[in-house]
Chains A and B, each alone.
Chain A
Amino acid sequence: MTLNDVFMIVPSSAALSGAIWFVVLTVIFYMARSHAHKGIISLTEAIHNSFRLSARSVKHLRDILITRNRDVLLAQGREATERIIEREFERIDATVRKDLSEYPALHRHLNEEVTNIDESFKESTDVPPTPPAWVKAVEAVAKIPAAKGDPTVGNILEDIHQSLIKSSTRALDEYRKASSKRHQLLQKMMPHWRNVLKALQQVDKSVNSLLSRSVTIDRLMHDYEDILKGTDKAQRMLSSSSMTQFFIAGFVLAIAVGGAFINFNLIARPMSEMVGGADMLMGFKTSSVAALVIILVEISLGLFLMESLRITRLFPVIGALDDKMRVKMIWITFIFLFALASVEAGLAYMREILMQDDSATSAALRGEAAVAEVENSALWITTASQMGLGFILPFALTFVAIPLESFIHSLRTVLGTALVALLRGLEWLLRFVGNMARSSGKIFVHTYDFLIFLPVGIEKFVKNNKKEGGKQSAGSNVGGVL
């Protein structure tokens, strides 16, 4: 029995069958109206509640994630700030060590210079020449009243006068010589003054450097305090910094991937000579996998080298090694890297030879074997360039460790933020769907009533009539009483 057979109650008339079905269904729907309404409302309420609960769970999850993100961000920021502050203190320590270790020498140097200056100054003191002792005796003789016309006295006085002139001239000469000597001594003091000035300038520079570093540390300590307190300002600052780091590190990593790709192309072809060109490994040529593995090993060695140098801090185990072991590790990784770089340079050379062989074979297959090979005088440049690239790129890839560290650290923050946004969107969607479900319940109820509008209308009409009849009868009863 098909659906059509069921529908066609009156086989000859589809319209009549339809009308009968309409009446039957209308009656059934009308009779089930109350239960249907309850069912629809219950169902949509249940859907609404389940979505609301889900939204609440998502919100709870989002709150946990926000707290966790905040903790991680602050922990990362604290660690990074501690590293910077530590570094600043190391710099101050280095400056203080350097300058203070020289301070006794500087002090001694300054003392010596000052003593020299002092001595020179003392030596250069202006001492007036003492008048000869007999000058007073001469004065006494000169006061003796001489008899007029006594030539003896005159001669004596003349001699005394001449002696005085001679004595004065000699004294003046000596004084001039002494002055000149003093001036020379004062002139000799100039280099000492300059030395003192230079030493003091050095001291000034060191002190200023310490002062500027102390200002930086002061600022960093302020940031550090903010981070420890977990202020919103610190969180915003760290979040913004993480985003910036993420994009910058991502950009540099993309460049590094380009470098790795060039490196791969340099060694993939010659690797097929070593490991075979036909073997496949997990859907890839074994030679390509081998070339990739070599590059990845180089990058790993670069990471270890950077860790050992304490430039990056991805592996705490390496960072915690004692200095002796760390230095050993630096040398070991460097030697391995050097060896791999040399191998790559050799492979790059081999690549050139193989390319020439390939082109010669292709030419022969194209029927160009008779064409004489043109000696390319500039071919050595490309060969040397390839070898140079093969040697340098492994060392260049070593520095990938720095952006990689930044990328990994910032990735956590970026992913956390993205996940929070995703959860926020999911929460909104769940609430929206839940509310839509509740509203749709009312819509379904009205639609249901619309489908059975005829009996509902009759019911309303009858009820209204009854009400009016009741009112009228109540009114007439009242009138009768009155």
Chain B
Amino acid sequence: MKIGQKPYLIFLVVAAFFLQSCSDGPAVPNTRGVYMLLDTSGTYTKELKQAQRVINYVLSQLDSGDSFAVARVDTGSFSEKDIVAKVSFKDQPSKANAQKRVFRDKIDKFVKTVKGSAYTDITGGILQGIEFLNEAGTGHNTILIFSDLKEELRKGYKRDIPLTVTDYSVVALNVTKLRSDNIDPREYLDRLEKWRLKVESGGGEWRVINDMARLEKILVRK
């Protein structure tokens, strides 16, 4: 049999390939978006060195087309002003590498000059993160919260807003125990449970990673 005598074979192969490509339903972008909140309240600023490690790890894992932003959590975090550094990596990997180096330098500078804030508006930060990631249009979104999860709002701030985090992964990192948690551990557990319910009721996936030696689990989805 000569190949040239069977042109319909080529047609069948192409048709099969086309059908296979059409069968996956609506296309979800294969890009990743990560928004990381850094708690800068009180004594938690001491933990920022750890946060720097996490940021560098996330940078090493992201590729061209992905988006990453790091924002501080302070008195009112629902604001672009609290975004310390943000980047959408360019298509060319070499340019993406250059962007990573610039990003790292910005974070280094921030960690050196950061000052503690009086209040902790985590919900506002998450809302800002959702806004950022929606605008970035990335396919798989993750919000990292580097905090003890103790929210302290200034008088007059309304944050009893349901979160819309459908298909988002919300990962709490390095959730340190407060002195009061040691007296009554239920406070710590209740705090975690409250955030879990808040995220899961918004359609998101909730995870807690306290072991900073296992950073590879941060961007892995269940």
Contact = CB atoms under 8 A, between A and B. Distances in A.
Contact of A412 (B1, B21, B93): B1
A408 B1 contact: yes
Contacts of B29: 280
B56 A272 contact: no
A276 B64 contact: yes
Given A278-B31, A365-B59, A272 B101 contact: no
A173 interface: no
B50 to A, nearest CB: 13
B92 A315 contact: no
Contacts of B66: 278
Contacts of B20: 282
Given A276-B64, A278-B91, A361-B100, A367 B56 contact: yes
A408 B3 contact: yes
Contacts of B97: 357-358, 360-361
Nearest to B105: A364
B4 A314 contact: yes
Contact of B93 (A354, A360, A365): A354
B160 interface: no
Given A362-B60, A365-B100, A314 B91 contact: no
Main DSSP-derived SS at the A contact region: helix
B52 to A, nearest CB: 9
Contact of A354 (B2, B4, B94, B100): B94
Given A277-B65, A278-B64, A283-B24, A272 B93 contact: yes
Contacts, number: 76
B69 interface: no
Contacts of A276: 64-65, 91-92
B30 interface: yes
Contacts of B104: 364-365
A269 B17 CA distance: 24
Find the residue from A278, A282, A283, A366 having the highest chain B CB count within 10 A.
A278
A278 B65 contact: yes
A316 interface: yes
B94 A273 contact: yes
A277 B92 contact: yes
A316 B5 CA distance: 9
A400 to B, nearest CB: 14
B171 interface: no
Contacts of A412: 1
Nearest to B103: A365
B21 A282 contact: yes
A155 B57 CA distance: 142
B3 A314 contact: yes
B187 interface: no
Contacts of A365: 56-57, 59-60, 100, 104
Given A357-B97, A358-B97, A279 B3 contact: no
Interface in A331-365: 354, 357-358, 360-362, 364-365
B122 interface: no
Q: Which of A280, A314, A365 has the most CB of B within 10 A?
A: A365
28 contacts: A72-B1, A269-B93, A272-B91, A272-B93, A276-B64, A276-B91, A277-B65, A277-B92, A277-B96, A278-B89, A280-B29, A280-B30, A282-B17, A283-B21, A313-B2, A314-B2, A315-B2, A315-B3, A316-B4, A317-B4, A357-B97, A358-B97, A361-B101, A365-B57, A365-B59, A367-B56, A408-B1, A409-B1
Which 4 pairs across A and B sit closest by C-beta, in order of nearness?
A: A278-B65, A276-B91, A277-B64, A282-B21
Given A278-B64, A282-B21, A366-B56, 15 more contacts: A272-B92, A276-B64, A278-B30, A278-B63, A279-B65, A280-B27, A283-B24, A317-B4, A357-B94, A361-B100, A365-B57, A365-B60, A365-B100, A408-B3, A409-B1
